[in-house]
Structure 1
Amino acid sequence: MDNMVVNLPNIPARDGLGCAVDHLAINQQYIRPEFSLYRKNNNGNGLAQVETSASGRGALVGVCLQGGHRRQLFKGRSSSLHDFEPGSVYLRNFSDDYRADLTEPFDFLLLEMSSEYLQQLSLETGKPYNNEMVNLTGFKDPVLSHLLNALIPILAKPDESSALFVDEMVTVISSHILGSYGGAGLVAPGRVLGLAPWQEMRAKEFIRANLDKDISISDVAAACGLSRSYFIRAFRAVTGYTPHRWLLTQRIEQARHLVQTTTTPLAQIATLCGFADQSHLTRNFNQIVGISPGKLRRSVTLQS
């Protein structure tokens, strides 16, 4: 048989979510062992196709960041069309094959949760994780949409993202998904949220002792002998703050003390208090104190 040269189609490489990489205008990711965040944007660069085979890797939830997106889903010999508005959400179970044609531009913030993470979280909330979690496309869930949108800055400025904040948000989002779509309840009816005095003291001491470190919800919850999901809600019920917000206020208080009582450079104060850099400190300081650390230091100098 004579040798033949066959021109094969130029099939673009695909990422772990089945997206053609060269069709993406924005392709950001934030990877952790238990979960991953993605920003995927196609500005109309041709037909985009997404395809993944069934696996046990968990679930994917996404929120649409711009309108005008449409996708055609294929299941066996049937197909269905779905339109997305800004804020529309979709939930995808990796235990099913997934194939879709994305015929319009899209911009999505996506959260992938591993099967192990969902199983552990569902045990913490009292019910087993259902591997047959429902698949939903282009539906409305204002709570879930709001929570997912809050994760956008993590991908835009990962160096300024606190692990405590990321863990806190992903735990809340995952708990909401399990409670609403996965068959797992969040808290047993009639259960009163709270912390024992020693647990509240332990949590606050642990956070204060690690202001310059990127601690996680798991670290603080373990110090109190509690699950992550319960600790987040109980801490807020007792203090009026989420763990991340309380951490931020403590960092700002320490920074204010150093600004007012020392001549330590502001860039060094930012590092000592757990901020990414001086501009990160200044933005948060302005927001909470109402004045920049530089102006505060100058006012102290003028008074002395």
Structure 2
Amino acid sequence: MEEAPALITRVLRKADIAVTECRSDKPENGISGSIPVEDAYLMGLQLRDYPEHDYWEGSRQHPRRDVKAGEILLYDLKRDPRFFINKPFHSIHFYLPRKALDAIADEAQAPRISELRYEPGVGMVDEVVRNLGTSLLAAFDRPEQVSRLFMDHVTFAIATHVTQTYGGLWSTPQRIKGGLAAWQERRACAMLEANLDGEVAIREVAAECGLSISHFSRAFRESTGMAPHQWLLHRRVESAKLLMHDRRLPLSEIALSSGFADQSHFTRVFSRLVGVSPGQWRRSREIETANEP
């Protein structure tokens, strides 16, 4: 599917993780082509039921199964996975190369895993992948409104979860408790605020604080009550509120100055976090100002 929308992130140094949305309402019947052999996995999150799923690894055909919406399937690209396509399908596929799995183990200071455990062609219920994966659906429709920080957060969380749950990753160091030190919080927030568009890599912010990505993410949430990308959204809104006091500035300009992709993105996020649209909020502030003695 050459035109399938894809998102690629490099949250881990020298290891790309790709996410692709695959959908066809009227597919041509036939066996899927072979994917180039490499030391990597695909994880498919099914978004619609696919009954009577015929699946092969190499020359071996596995028992036919029904795959339900919300289930995941794992494919080892060393084993030449193929399947018979004869009905509509819709799924999100995560490309997880060996480099990414190794980098996650190194990040956790844990032994590298060997293989991911799965039963060929059998769907599995995984609420973590389902919830995180479906949060990316809007990103395929409006990729210009998705920040690098958000993509880093979701793809790292999914890749780490898969490595732990299906690869048996275990960490030997004692988990560090507590939030960020005061200087770390100041530095992290300053970096995020200097990049309101979210185009700063989470590993860069973590490195500035002298922490691993996983430790930084946990400590930042402990200190601020929010994940980094959520904190950034709230900061964008606060920045927009300050600018909206200047009646000469149009909302479209305020949206861009506050790190939003466009006015519709600004309106959607602002309304969700504040409870009213930017225009309503601005008018209410103007009324309050006019009534001040």
Q: Identify the residue that residue 216 of structure 1 maps to in structure 2.
A: 201
Structure 1 residue 87 corresponds to structure 2 residue 78: no
Task: For residue 120 of structure 1, give the secondary structure of its aligned residue in structure 2.
Answer: helix
Residue identity opposite 1:301 in structure 2: E
Q: Distance in 1 between matches of 2:218 and 2:171?
A: 10
CA RMSD of aligned residues (A): 2.2
Contact 2:43 2:72 in 1 (8 A): yes
2:267 is equivalent to residue 300 of structure 1: no
Corresponding position of 2:13? none
Q: Unaligned 5+ residue runs, structure 2?
A: 11-15
Q: Secondary structure at the match of 2:91?
A: strand
- The match for 2:262 is 277
Q: Shift in Å at residue 262 of structure 1?
A: 5.2
Q: In the alignment, does 2:248 pair up with 1:266? A: no
1:154-186 per-position Cα deviation (integer Å, ceiling 9, x unaligned): 111101101111100111111100110112136
Task: Kindly indicate whether residue 83 of structure 2 is the aligned counterpart of residue 100 of structure 1.
Answer: yes
Question: Matched residues in 2 for 1:168 and 1:73: separation?
Answer: 32
Matched residue type, 2:98: S
Name the aligned partner's letter for residue 116 of structure 1: K
> Under a length normalisation based on structure 1, what TM-score does the superposition of the two structures give?
0.84
Distance 1:277 1:106 in 2: 32
Which structure 1 residue ranges, 4+ long, deviate > 6 Å from structure 2? none
Identity %: 32
Q: Residue 29 of structure 1 corresponds to which residue in structure 2?
A: 6
Paired residues of 2:27 and 2:85 also in contact (CA < 8 A): no
Considering Cα pairs closer than 8 Å and 6+ residues apart, tell me whether 1 or 2 has the greater RCO.
Answer: 2
Residues 1-304 of structure 1 correspond to what in structure 2 (within 5 A)? 15=1, 27-32=4-9, 34-50=16-32, 51-56=34-39, 58-75=40-57, 76-136=59-119, 137-185=122-170, 188=173, 191-261=176-246, 263-302=248-287, 303-304=289-290
SS of 2:270's equivalent in the other structure is helix
Q: Distance in 1 between matches of 2:251 and 2:257?
A: 10
Per-residue deviation, residues 98-132 of structure 1 (Å, max 9, x unmatched): 12213332110111123222221221112243242
Higher mean displacement: 118-127 or 275-284: 118-127
Letter in 2 for 1:251: R
Shift of 1:213: 4.9
Contact kept? 2:35, 2:80, Cα under 8 Å: yes
**Cα separation, partners in 2 of 1:297 and 1:194, compared to 1, 3 Å:** closer
Q: What is the letter of the counterpart of residue 23 of structure 2?
A: N
C-alpha distance 148-70 of structure 1, shift in aligned 2 (>3 A): farther
SS in 2 for 1:126: coil
Q: Which residue of 2 aligns with 1:4?
A: none
CA distance in 1, matches of 2:223, 2:160: 20
Counterpart residue identity of residue 230, structure 2: R
Deviates further, 174-183 or 256-265 = 256-265
Cα separation, partners in 2 of 1:129 and 1:49, compared to 1, 3 Å: farther
Instruction: Decide whether aligned partners of structure 1 residues 251 and 258 sit closer, same or farther in structure 2, where only a CA change above 3 A counts.
Output: same
Contact residue 63 and residue 110 of structure 1 kept, 8 A: yes
Segments of 5+ residues of structure 1 without an aligned counterpart are 1-14, 16-20
